[in-house]
Amino acid sequence: MHDVACRSRGVRLAGYEAVRIVLGMILLSAAAFKGRQMATGLVAQTDLSTSRWFLIGVVAFELFLGLGLVWGQPRRSEFAARRVPNGFPSLSG
C-alpha cells in the first residue's frame, strides 16, 4: 500500500487508495463543519437525532472514521463504513 507521501515521489496511487483518501477527507470536512455549527449555533433539541449528545457522537464517529481512512487503517474503517448507510434510513424518517 502506498501512503499519501508517495505522490510526491512519483508513485501512483491505486484506485482504491485514492477513493479511500478522498472519502476520508470528505468525512473529516463534514465533521469539521458539523463541529463548528454545534460550537457557534443553537441546536434544535426536539428528538434523539437532533440532541446535542447524539450529534457529538456523530461528529466523533465521522472524525475517527475519516482519520482511519486517510491514515490507512482500511480494515478497521471498512467495518464501520459498511454499517453507516444502514443507519441513515432510521435517522431520516
Q: How far is CA 47 from CA 7, 24, 54, 89, in A?
A: 45, 29, 10, 16
Query: Which residue range forms the structural domain that includes residue 66?
Result: 4-92
User: What grid cell was written down for 78?
Assistant: 471498512
pLDDT (tens digit, 9 = 90+) per residue, 34-65? Answer: 899 888 988 888 888 788 888 888 899 889 88
- Domain total of the chain: 1
To the question of pTM greater than 0.75 for the whole model, the response is: no
Q: In which element (H, E) is residue 74 found?
A: helix 74-92
CB of 43 within 8 A of CB of 52?
A: yes
pLDDT for residue 92 is more than 50: no
Taking the alpha carbons at both ends of the chain, their separation in whole angstroms is 40
